[in-house]
């Protein structure tokens, strides 16, 4: 796996992270231990990896699912993007996987034109959240979690602009290191962590709060090794373990260490 662009902590299999690669790679789902051991791979049949940029896990009607976000659009030219939903596979004792043919696709567009995006999450209100990458102030969009989705083009609607992320220094602006590359929601839907090319940022909201209100408060920074250290180069994948609350972060570049950040006490 040389270009990990999305990761999700398994809800069904203990100590497993699901991963996918970026565009130009096979449409395959990988099961990986937190220590980096590959446990199984599951090719998706009948679907193309146009530009897979993130993934997330969620439960619906007591069934665990994964969603893969085919949303990359560096030049904002795609008239529609898609989300791919699959039932989370169960791992067996033997290493290996099997082809996945049971999947659904949700096609969508943004309500204010094409956007590059590398971040997806599903919240407890059964909304799919998407965060734009290249806007000066990243834009949060939402889609309804209609499952299985109909064969129509849905519209991702504007929710809020993130204006309280730390202002980038000139060096970060020069190399676009301030851009969001992944995000993850806690199991209660009240903590949102956004990953960038430098650090990660944690937003909290109360149960009665909207995300628009929560974004008015500056986030808590989660400091990561800077790319110039040679670690976590081009970090583009983040997830939250729903059992422990730990964060896992990895990168698109080899070597691709998996970092674990435990929650503060």
Residue 105: exposure state from Cβ atoms within 10 A (0-12, 13-18, ≥19): middle
% of the chain surpassing 70 pLDDT: 98
CA distance 18 to 55: 9
Query: Looking at residue 95, what is its pLDDT?
Result: 62
Neighbours of 161 (CB within 10 A): 15
For the chain, what is the mean pLDDT? 93
Question: Smallest Cα–Cα separation from 120: which of 256, 203, 261, 7?
Answer: 7
pLDDT at 265 over 70: no
Tokens of 79: 């008239």
Residue 21 has a pLDDT of 95
In angstroms, rounded to a whole number, what is the distance separating the alpha carbons of residues 3 and 24?
9
DSSP one-letter string for 32-67:
E-TTS-EEEEEEBTT---S-EEEEEEEEETTEEEEE
- Cβ-contact 87, 102 below 8 angstroms: yes
Render pLDDT for 89-147 as a digit per residue (tens, 0 to 9).
999 765 667 899 999 999 999 999 999 999 999 998 899 999 999 999 999 999 999 98
H helices present in the chain, as ranges? 170-174, 211-214
- Beta partners for residue 149, in sequence order: none
Between these two residues, 143 and 263, which has the higher pLDDT value? Answer: 143
What residues pair up with 29 in beta bridges, in sequence order? 42
Nearest alpha-carbon partner for 258 in 34, 10, 56: 34
CA-CA distance, 249 to 256, in Å (whole number)? 10
C-alpha to C-alpha distances, 207 to 33, 160, 244, 246, nearest whole angstrom: 33, 18, 21, 21
pLDDT in tens, 159-207: 999 999 988 777 777 767 889 999 999 999 999 999 999 999 999 999 8
Rounded average pLDDT over 38-57: 96
What are 129's two structure tokens? 């959240």
CB 142: neighbour CB atoms within 10 A? Answer: 17
pLDDT for 30 equals 96
**Confidence grade of residue 247 (pLDDT, cut at 50, 70, 90):** very high
Query: Residue 163: beta bridge partners?
Result: none
In the chain, pLDDT over 90 holds for what percent of residues?
79
Q: What is the mean pLDDT of residues 251-258?
A: 89
Whole-angstrom distance, CA of residue 123 vs CA of residue 216 = 19
Q: For 32-47, what is the mean pLDDT? A: 95
pLDDT at residue 153, rounded to an integer: 98
- Contact between residue 60 and residue 145 where contact means Cβ atoms under 8 Å apart: yes
pLDDT at 180: 96
Confidence (pTM): 0.95
Q: Supply the pLDDT for residue 93.
A: 61
Provide the CATH number for the domain formed by 4-261 in this structure. 2.120.10
């Amino acid at each position: 796996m040389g270009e990990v662009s999305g990761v999700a902590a398994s809800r069904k299999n203990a100590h497993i992270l699901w991963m996918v690669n970026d565009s130009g790679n096979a449409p395959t789902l990988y099961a990986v231990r937190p220590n980096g051991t590959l446990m199984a791979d599951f090719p998706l049949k009948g679907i193309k990896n146009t530009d897979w940029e993130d993934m997330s896990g969620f439960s619906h009607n007591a069934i665990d699912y994964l969603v893969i976000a085919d949303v990359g659009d560096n030049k904002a030219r795609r008239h529609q993007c898609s989300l791919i939903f699959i039932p989370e596979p169960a791992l067996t004792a033997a290493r290996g996987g099997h082809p996945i043919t049971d999947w659904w696709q949700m096609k969508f567009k943004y309500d204010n034109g094409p956007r590059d995006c590398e971040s997806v999450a599903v919240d407890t209100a059964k909304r799919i959240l998407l965060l734009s990458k290249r806007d000066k102030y990243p834009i949060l969009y939402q889609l309804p979690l209609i499952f299985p989705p109909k064969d129509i083009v849905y519209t991702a609607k504007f929710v809020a602009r993130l204006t309280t992320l730390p202002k980038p220094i000139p060096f970060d602006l020069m190399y676009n290191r301030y851009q969001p590359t992944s995000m993850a929601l806690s199991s209660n839907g009240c903590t949102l962590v956004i990953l960038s090319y430098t650090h990660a940022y944690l937003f909290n909201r109360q149960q009665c709060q909207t995300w628009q209100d929560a974004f008015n408060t500056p986030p808590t920074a989660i400091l990561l090794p800077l790319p110039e250290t040679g670690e976590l180069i081009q970090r583009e994948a983040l997830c939250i373990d729903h059992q422990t609350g730990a964060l896992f972060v990895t990168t698109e570049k080899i070597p691709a260490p998996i970092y674990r950040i435990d929650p503060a006490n």
